[in-house]
Structure 1
Amino acid sequence: MKNRNGIFWGLFLLLSAAILVVSQLHLITYTFSFWTIIATIFLAAVLIKSLVYFSISGTVFSLAFLGILYAKPLGITAIVPWTILGAALLITIGLSMILNPLLNRHRPWMRYRKAFTRGHRGPFFSYEYKSGPDMKTIDKPDVDVYVKMGNSVRYVKSDDFKTANIDVNMGEAKVYFDHVTVKDTAIINVNVSLGGAELYIPSNWNIIKGVNNNMGNITEDGVRNVDEDSPDVTISGLVSLGNLKISYI
């Protein structure tokens, strides 16, 4: 994780320096405002971070917003912003279906079981058709939750909880850890893209947050009650154009 952060900040500073130098030397005939340069640096940061963390949605949408920002010099003013954003959404869905199986090896928080019991089976994933939320109880120390364009509720029960890998892509997931015992340490890996995940965490856990936020929203709710005997639980991963809520119960 530290190495990836170093790559991100190194590339970000190099690109920021290049943008500032080019803007001051007037090497480009089109004149950019101060706020355009600031927005460019911000979107460039999002783009680099998305590439470093293999985030498809972050990469596509940052490029889409840059296209909207530079529509005039690129000669694409005939394309309205909503068309660009709509195309970005379709591209994100298509690339996610194609590339997610290849990205699993690079993102440990995206590991999931590739098939359920019954349902539609495609070349890259399978899922069940259900009218309501998919509700299950998981009784094991290592948990995998994968949600794609649906709603899922998971109740985790374990006397020796170790890890959880939660991947939400254009869906909603609620995961309850209130019937879980952590003997020493545990880790929860999350990857939320164009969706939302809510984690119900015991208030006596000592939560160590290491989640990267890429144009997403991370919130906490409830009161923590941590003491010297509280287990250390790390929440890591990436929230890209999505929402992660940690509720202490």
Structure 2
Amino acid sequence: MRNRNGIFWGLFLLLSAAILVVSQMHLITYTFSFWTIIATIFLVAVLIKSLVYFSIAGSVFSLAFLAILFAKPLGITALVPWTVLGAALLISIGLSMIFRPLLVKHRPWMRRSYYKKQWNGGGRVSFDRKVDPDVETVAESDINVYVKMGSSIRYVKSDDFKRADIDVTMGDAKVYFDNVNVLDSAVINVNASLSGVELYVPKNWNIIKEMNSNLGGVTEVGFADVTADSPNVTVRGLVSLSGLKISYV
């Protein structure tokens, strides 16, 4: 993880320097405003980070916004922004489906849920293209939630919870852990693309956040009440054009 962050910031600083030098030397015939340069640097940073973390949605949408920003010099002013963003959405979905096996290799938290999906292994919960939320109570120490273009609500009950793999694409998932007991430590892996994920966790959990985000965010609602006996629960993964909310209950 540290190595990838080093690669990201190194490439980001190099490209930022190149953009600033080229703009000040007037090597490009088209004149860019100061805010355009700042926006470009930000979008290039998002693009690099998306490539480093193999985020298709982040890469495609950062390129889409760059295309909108430079529509005039690129000669694509006939394309309205909504057309570009709509095309980016379809491209993101298509590439995610095509390259999913490759993404699994570079995202360890996706491996178990992916292979269980392929073989329809036990304990996996999945659905596609459902309008009404899919609600279910899961009484297992290891759970898998797979959501694609739909909505899911899961109530987890376990006396020895160890792991949860949550994979959501163009959907939303709510997972309740308030009836869960962690003996020592546990991990919750989240992979969200163009989605929203909400985790409801006990206040006495010591949540360790190891999330990466591309045009997404992680928020917390409420306050934790951590003591010396509180279990350590690591929440890790990637949110791309998505939101992850952790609520203490």
Query: TM-score normalised to the size of structure 2?
Result: 0.91
Partner of 1:74: 74
SS of 2:183's equivalent in the other structure is coil
Alpha-carbon distance in 1 for matches of 2:149, 2:129? 11
Distance 1:194 1:128, change over 3 A: closer
Does structure 1 residue 146 correspond to structure 2 residue 146?
Answer: yes
Unaligned runs of 5+ residues in structure 2 are 121-125
1:62-141 to 2 correspondence within 5 Å?
A: 62-111=62-111, 112=113, 113-114=116-117, 127=127, 130-141=130-141
Query: TM-score normalised to the size of structure 1?
Result: 0.91
Judge conservation of contact 1:115–1:127 (CA < 8 Å) in 2.
Answer: no
- Equivalences, count: 241
Partner of 1:204: 204
Alpha-carbon distance in 1 for matches of 2:92, 2:162? 32
1:41-60 to 2 correspondence within 5 Å?
A: 41-60=41-60
Give the AA of the match of 2:8.
Answer: F
SS of 2:227's equivalent in the other structure is coil
Q: Could you list the runs of 4 or more consecutive aligned residues of structure 1 that deviate by over 3 angstroms after TM superposition?
A: 126-131
1:61-120 residue CA offsets vs partner (Å, 9 max, x unmatched): 000000000111111111111110110011111111111232112112223131597xxx
1:131 shift after superposition: 4.6
Moved more, 79-88 or 218-227: 218-227
Judge conservation of contact 2:147–2:168 (CA < 8 Å) in 1.
Answer: yes
1:111-170 residue CA offsets vs partner (Å, 9 max, x unmatched): 3131597xxxxxxxx845645222223232222211110111112222222221111110
Moved more, 126-135 or 139-148: 126-135
Partner of 1:234: 234
Moved more, 221-230 or 197-206: 221-230
Between structures 1 and 2, the one with greater helix share: 2
Partner of 2:195: 195
Partner of 1:121: none
Judge conservation of contact 2:129–2:150 (CA < 8 Å) in 1.
Answer: no
SS of 1:237's equivalent in the other structure is strand
Aligned Cα root-mean-square deviation (Å): 1.7
Judge conservation of contact 1:116–1:128 (CA < 8 Å) in 2.
Answer: no
Partner of 1:123: none
Alpha-carbon distance in 2 for matches of 1:238, 1:92? 16
Alpha-carbon distance in 1 for matches of 2:128, 2:39? 41
Judge conservation of contact 2:205–2:226 (CA < 8 Å) in 1.
Answer: yes
